[in-house]
Structure 1
């Protein structure tokens, strides 16, 4: 299937690594001019160079979207070479904390980074999409929005907010040609996931090496029909589809990419 994103410009926040990097590379491969965003200049530039080396088009923007002025500058820079047609709100943050460790300040900081940062980008970029009569806003959410763990509650709650605001935005954009959707990953094997599972694995009796821990972690945490962790390219594929003309009739939806998660273990 040709998604035909030629002529579209896409900003993927938090795309210097992980899911964002995979998404930026796939959208570029499908013809979009990609704006790679990150806070680490070297990592962000490397992703953009990888895209260019593969024959794609990529520029970079830098900055912490948790700051109003910086977010405004990122939006301006992302639009410098043309209007942004596709906004993928991927940037996010979490710390693995217990309820006792998650202080009110931690809750506020996590909400600002994970929720308000995305709202900033929506408010800067979506009005122009509405004026042009075409646009895509895709928010990366997660299964913890509806099946939260007992740990890092401050993060779980921000995922629920991301899902909720996406549907509200879809209602706001009714009849404009701009859609708003969530891609909701299960447990995807990025570096942070591997670090977390490796950290808690021995204490939970899953083993001491990654080869021992991985299958036990899947069975205990994310029992699913595919019996494995997902990979970043599988999330990128769902995002790319939602960016295409084939997905014009999809808005306010949550697309689960979780292997058919059977139940929550918490």
Structure 2
């Protein structure tokens, strides 16, 4: 399927690794000019170079979106070679903390990085989309937004806020030609996930090799209908679809890409 993204320009925040990297690569493969964003110049430039070597168009911008001034600089740099038509709010972080460990300062920092940073980029880039009458905003959420765990409560809450802001934005953009949607991943097998699961696998009796650990980890951590971890490319594909003209009639929606982990009919 041709997603008709040629001529569009996309900024994917937090795209120097993981889900963001795969999303940037796929959007570029579908014809979009991609702006890779990160906080490490070498990693961001490396992803952009990888895209260019594959025949795509990409540049890189660096900056901390948790800071007002730095976020404004990122927006200016991202639009230096043309307006941004697609904003993928992917950047975020979490620390695995208990309720006792998650201090008010930790809550404030996590909310600023995971929620307010997305708001900054929306406010910088969406007004120009309004003027052109076309745009896409895709926010990466997660199942913990609706079914939170007892751990890392500060992170769970920010996912719920990301889902909420995306739907509110969709209502705000009624009739403008811009859509706002959420892609909600399950547990995705990026390098950090594999390292974490492997490190705790033997202690929990899941096995010694990855082939032994993986099925037991799935059953223990994320029992889903596909009986596996998700792949970054599967998240990227959902984002790319929502960025296309085929998804013009989808707005304020959440697409769950979690193998059936979240068991809800609605």
Q: TM-score, normalised by structure 1?
A: 0.96
Further displaced range: 55-64 or 203-212: 203-212
1:134 aligns with 2:137: no
1:215 matched to which residue of 2?
215
Question: For residues 1-20 of structure 1, what are the structure 2 equivalents within 5 Å?
Answer: 1-20=1-20
Q: Which runs of 4+ in 1 moved over 4 A?
A: none
How many Å apart are 1:204 and its aligned residue? 3.3
2:177 matched to which residue of 1?
177
1:52 matched to which residue of 2?
52
Contact kept, 8 Å, 1:181 with 1:251, in 2: the verdict is yes
- 1:161-185 CA-partner distances (Å, limit 9, x unpaired): 0001000000000010000000000
Mapped partners of 1:144, 1:214: distance in 2:
21
How many Å apart are 1:212 and its aligned residue? 2.4
1:240 matched to which residue of 2?
240
SS at match of 2:112: helix
1:77 matched to which residue of 2?
77
Contact kept, 8 Å, 1:8 with 1:86, in 2: the verdict is yes
How many Å apart are 1:262 and its aligned residue? 5.5
- 1:4-51 CA-partner distances (Å, limit 9, x unpaired): 101100000000000000000000000000000001111111100000
Q: TM-score, normalised by structure 2?
A: 0.96
Contact kept, 8 Å, 1:64 with 1:70, in 2: the verdict is yes
SS at match of 1:160: helix
Question: For residues 40-189 of structure 1, what are the structure 2 equivalents within 5 Å?
Answer: 40-189=40-189
Mapped partners of 1:71, 1:196: distance in 2:
30
How many Å apart are 1:263 and its aligned residue? 5.1
Further displaced range: 197-206 or 139-148: 197-206
Contact kept, 8 Å, 1:222 with 1:263, in 2: the verdict is no
Cα distance change, pair 152–203 in 1 and its aligned pair in 2 (3 A): farther
SS at match of 1:204: coil
Contact kept, 8 Å, 2:143 with 2:262, in 1: the verdict is no
Mapped partners of 1:221, 1:126: distance in 2:
37
How many Å apart are 1:210 and its aligned residue? 2.6
1:201 matched to which residue of 2?
201
Count the aligned residue pairs. 264
Mapped partners of 1:20, 1:198: distance in 2:
23
How many Å apart are 1:199 and its aligned residue? 3.6
Mapped partners of 2:263, 2:229: distance in 1:
15
Mapped partners of 2:219, 2:61: distance in 1:
40
Cα distance change, pair 195–104 in 1 and its aligned pair in 2 (3 A): farther
1:21 matched to which residue of 2?
21
Mapped partners of 1:169, 1:94: distance in 2:
24
Mapped partners of 1:160, 1:262: distance in 2:
14
**Gapped runs of 5+ residues in structure 1?**
none
Contact kept, 8 Å, 1:9 with 1:84, in 2: the verdict is yes
1:30 aligns with 2:15: no
SS at match of 1:161: helix
